Structure 1
């Protein structure tokens, strides 16, 4: 059975990236398959050096939904096999996907690995940028002396999950906040970050963790992004000796609801 599967899969293998092609499946004029990602990057077929074709491999496209494929991260440890479309969906959330270090802000860490190894790597290699626990206190000294855009990132491990707390203090004094999941997590609305500030108990933030949509985009934009304006930051610092001090609570809202229900039960 394994030999038959391999005979079928070889027809889907792209000779450039060595990954399996999926619809739309492109080809050269002789019929050699090239995946869509590589097709636009080449001038000639790497197998026969013939020109590319405008025609697609319709037969392979029609069979794609019935052929059993291994996960593209099988070399990293994934043992899942499934039909074409289901495998494409699985690969988007596969915990064995190879990713870069989530704290590689200065482009100086060259670590890559699977989702489940990302948080342990951060604690081993970047201990000054990591915290554990559901409640953590942070302090930014001498905020008024900061004259340039300053980004601060911290990996927080809580409720057996990894989160990336992102803060950015701008020259004009306002501050952006966002929380990202370090790895994929299906129940993405289960957790909340509640941030309370020293100096004014009425100032607080609630952040819902999100997934980073683009590696090239500004993470301090889009869904989940919150802002504290410059006047609020200034007042908080003036009330707290020139420093911005705050407590970050990571709340499992499912457990929070259960506790609240118990407390409101009639005894």
Structure 2
């Protein structure tokens, strides 16, 4: 397919403006949504009818023949790929990207590690240098606490390393009460594909249990706020920047 710009424009999600890949959802008037936005919307953003979780199997089939741009197009990657090739390419493309380590130097030292390196090197670096930060989990469950405004936890499950990334910002304060907004996400350090794993997490003091897909490792922890704007990670408000949470990671078949 030499030029599929027209089809790609149809496959643009009206909420996050990313190109939609299966599973592809639609409202009763056939307006399309990506799976992430479908999970965070109750009504169609175009016509406002109530969403019923219906999938568009025809467009899912069409998407198999569409050439999608690499997710790193904005960084200069010019590749156009079919869905069967896209995931593997995006994991290894843009080899000049340098990934920031989120670890602390040593167990008794809170200073931040300034290591940066390639996607292929970061997994080994964390396992060798930051063993004190890694929590082993045979079944994917975890129960941890956050004590800093910026905190990182590592889970070793299914021989894959996962990074729990937590950023808490003071939203406003007064002489009576402080309010914080917290961004929370789990990223895969080892697994190459997206949607290989899912997670659920319950924050102490919050009523809801959050469920999401484990994301790809990011080059900088500052990217978590961009993910929050696209509803790709948990973000919530509270009166404390310290909290406990429990949850689990599961491998998808």
TM-score normalised by the chain length of structure 1: 0.45
Larger radius of gyration: 1
TM-score normalised by the chain length of structure 2: 0.47
Q: Which has the higher contact order (CA 8 A, sep 6+)?
A: 2
Q: Which has the higher helix share?
A: 1
